[in-house]
Amino acid sequence: MLKQRVLTAVVLLVLWMPTLWLHSPWPFIVLALILVSVAAWEWSRLNGLDATGARACGAGLGCAGLLVVFASNTLPDVPMLWWLAACAWIAGGASVLRAGPARWPVAPRGLRIAVGLAMLAVAWWALAQARIIGVNYLLSVLCVVWMADIAAYFGGRTCGRRKLSAVISPGKSWEGVASGVLGVLLLAIGWMAFDARVATDSASLFTQLTQRFGAPSMALAMVALAGMSVVGDLFESLVKRAVGAKDSSGLLPGHGGVLDRIDALLPVLPCALAITTL
């Protein structure tokens, strides 16, 4: 399993890294759209669509994104969209997690599929906008999620005692969440030191927020984003538990599906853009 995970990660990096460092952001944006379209296919399957319907949802999201890409020279920054998405994740995420896995299949299937496609489309748009702002900014947002996940994993394994949500994800603990938050705060300190010494194409999320609002406000924002990454992870776990699925698909050997890899990013991307537009 570990060998599979490593090989899959290497292949993904080989595909992803060249597009990230190209002068034009569009290859990265189109590759991200392809991955999000695959995630839309996975989401539709999880929520009861047959193979044809699921493929149609994935292709439809991809085609809609391509139309947006080719119809304009740049994707517009839409602060209201980021704030609407952030509010929807905060209110809707809390409501869904409180209801638990048993209530998810009760909601109309069309509504469940529409919600998933909307959150994937907004996350892709936010990812594209972050890349347009700059590679350093984009990586700082992505690393908030990755650091929160890695630190939570090791913190939970080391001292996890109190379950965060035994019904949805028995492996997660409050101690793991606290470790994730601490890891993100340490990441912010180190990244700001890097920004101060190295010329980059853009200021990181941490540096931007500190310059505008001060270090305490930046730290509070990082706590909120680390928390939202947990919400995104739990949300997908709830959906999989509701339908009895272990992974969203088997496309990524050792990792599950695309949706399994990007679930925590779905709320964090628009929330980070919302905070940045303050």
75-118 pLDDT, tens per residue?
777 889 999 999 999 999 999 999 999 999 999 999 999 999 99
Work out the pLDDT band at 2, boundaries 50, 70, 90. Answer: very low
pLDDT of residue 97: 93
Percentages of the chain per state (helix, strand, coil), in multiples of 5:
80, 5, 20
pLDDT mean across residues, the chain? 90
What are the structure tokens assigned to 10, written together? 């290497």
Please give the average per-residue pLDDT across 214-236, as a whole number: 96
pLDDT of residue 241: 93
What are the structure tokens assigned to 113, written together? 């599929």
Q: Which of 65-79, 88-102, 177-191 has the lowest mean pLDDT?
A: 65-79
Q: Under DSSP, is residue 75 helix (H, G, I), strand (E, B) or coil? A: coil
Please give the average per-residue pLDDT across 9-18, as a whole number: 76
- Does residue 230 contact residue 238 with C-beta atoms inside 8 Å? no
pLDDT at 1 over 60: no
What are the structure tokens assigned to 159, written together? 């001292």
Of 60, 79, 74, nearest to 26 by C-alpha is: 74
Query: CA angle 54-109-227, nearest 5°?
Result: 90
Higher pLDDT, 165 or 241: 241
- Does residue 47 contact residue 116 with C-beta atoms inside 8 Å? yes
pLDDT of residue 231: 95
pLDDT of residue 170: 83
DSSP 134: -
> What span, in angstroms and rounded, lies between the C-alpha atoms of 204 and 104?
37
Q: Which of 162-166, 174-178, 205-209, 228-232 has the lowest mean pLDDT?
A: 162-166
pLDDT of residue 139: 95
Helices (H), ranges, 161-264: 174-197, 205-213, 215-243, 258-262
pLDDT of residue 22: 86
* Strands (E) located in the chain: 163-165, 169-173
Q: What is the pLDDT of residues 118-160, one digit of tens each?
A: 999 999 999 999 999 999 999 999 999 999 999 998 888 888 7
pLDDT of residue 3: 61
pLDDT of residue 68: 86
